[in-house]
Amino acid sequence: MNLDFHTWSDYELLDSGFFEKLERVGDYILIRPEPQAIWPKQLSDSEWQKMAHAKFERDNSKASHRNTNNENGGWTFFKKIPTTWTIEYQPLKLTLKVSLTSFGHLGVFVEQIDNWHYIDNQVRRFADKPKVLNLFAYTGAASLVAANAGADVTHLDAVKNVVTWANENKQLSKAPEIRWIVDDAMKFVKRQANKGQIYQGIIIDPPAYGRGPAGEKWILEEQLNEMIELCSKITDKNQGFVLLNLYSMGLSGTIGVNLFKTHYGKQANWGENLVESKQGLHLPLCTWVRMNY
């Protein structure tokens, strides 16, 4: 399922091409790098420039969509624009803070709405309040969706300021209480496995590269196998769901399917989350792997 972005009043992908995207986020129009947009722009450069409030440029044009390293780059402003504002996604009662960060992220990954609805549906099928663990949880939209649907949510990220940001989103969205954890994901999951903790839902949303709070190194291709193995030890054997996002370009969803089959002994599905532009082209932004039973 790929939801129709034309019905989301607070977001539009206006155009994409030549490794950039032109998007309206709330009341403001931004130009940001997009390594997957290898095709030509449908609108002219002058049209992009006329519409845009601000543009982010990276010196490192090969940086991945979810790379957490602070690549060299910065914003250029063409019109008056605040540094932070909010957008809403009313179908799931979300109000989220948008910020022009120093590394080009906004704090909201709009292509995730398809996964948000999946999480909402999965949580609501439990008769009792399920425990959901959100790993590499960033600014917390998925945590809020799970909490709003009735889950007991543990939200974990290695970066304290984005956990603070997630808490701001919770307050803005008037969501139920969430357990906030600042820790290295691998270390936390190992401790949970040793303690025999069990979750009915696990969301795994890792970057290609990252650092833990004590400098722990995360490299997706090298550590994902161990992470899925550990998660299989803390997931309820009788009823549960697991969602894995793969933002690293070049990684097939079949990798996640094979990992789930190996460590859970269950079949998973995979697909892409796409955003359709007003010009009719589909921009692929995330590969997901889902398993529920």
Instruction: For residues 203 and 132, give the distance between their C-alpha atoms in angstroms, rounded to a whole number.
Output: 8
Query: For residue range 25-64, what is the model confidence (pLDDT) as tens digits?
Result: 999 999 999 999 999 999 999 999 999 999 999 865 444 4
Q: Among 292, 279, 277, which Cα is nearest to 2's?
A: 277
Asked if residues 89 and 67 have their Cβ atoms less than 8 Å apart, the reply is: no
Instruction: For residues 267 and 257, give the distance between their C-alpha atoms in angstroms, rounded to a whole number.
Output: 7
Instruction: For residues 224 and 52, give the distance between their C-alpha atoms in angstroms, rounded to a whole number.
Output: 38
The residues pairing with 155 across neighbouring beta strands, listed in sequence order, are: 134, 180
Asked if residues 279 and 15 have their Cβ atoms less than 8 Å apart, the reply is: yes
Q: Which residue type is seen at 287?
A: T
Report the pLDDT value the prediction gives residue 233, as an integer from 0 to 100: 98
**CB contact set of 9 (below 8 Å; sequence gap of 6+):** none
The CATH superfamily of 5-89 is: Golgi alpha-mannosidase II (2.60.40.1180)
Is residue 68 predicted with pLDDT exceeding 70? no
Helix (H) or strand (E) holding 192: helix 185-195
Residue 137: helix, strand or coil by DSSP?
coil
Q: Among 97, 51, 44, 100, which Cα is nearest to 75's?
A: 100
Q: Which CATH class is domain 110-292?
A: alpha beta
Helix (H) or strand (E) holding 28: strand 28-33
Tell me how far CA of residue 288 lies from CA of 84, 196, 250, 291, in angstroms: 29, 27, 13, 10
Tell me how far CA of residue 162 lies from CA of 37, 113, 144, 170, 251, in angstroms: 27, 19, 14, 12, 26
Query: For residue range 229-254, what is the model confidence (pLDDT) as tens digits?
Result: 999 999 999 999 999 999 876 789 99
Q: Among 175, 162, 185, which Cα is nearest to 244's?
A: 185
Asked if residues 33 and 56 have their Cβ atoms less than 8 Å apart, the reply is: yes
188 phi, psi to nearest 5 deg? -65, -45
Q: What is the 3-state composition of the chain as percent helix, strand, coil, each rounded to the nearest 5?
A: 30, 30, 40
Q: What is the pTM of this model?
A: 0.93
Asked if residues 206 and 186 have their Cβ atoms less than 8 Å apart, the reply is: no
**CB contact set of 66 (below 8 Å; sequence gap of 6+):** 109, 207, 208, 247
Query: For residue range 93-144, what is the model confidence (pLDDT) as tens digits?
Result: 999 999 999 999 999 999 999 999 999 999 999 999 999 999 999 999 999 9
Q: Which residue type is seen at 172?
A: L
Where are the chain's structural domains? 5-89, 110-292
Q: Which residue type is seen at 128?
A: D
6 vs 116, higher pLDDT:
116
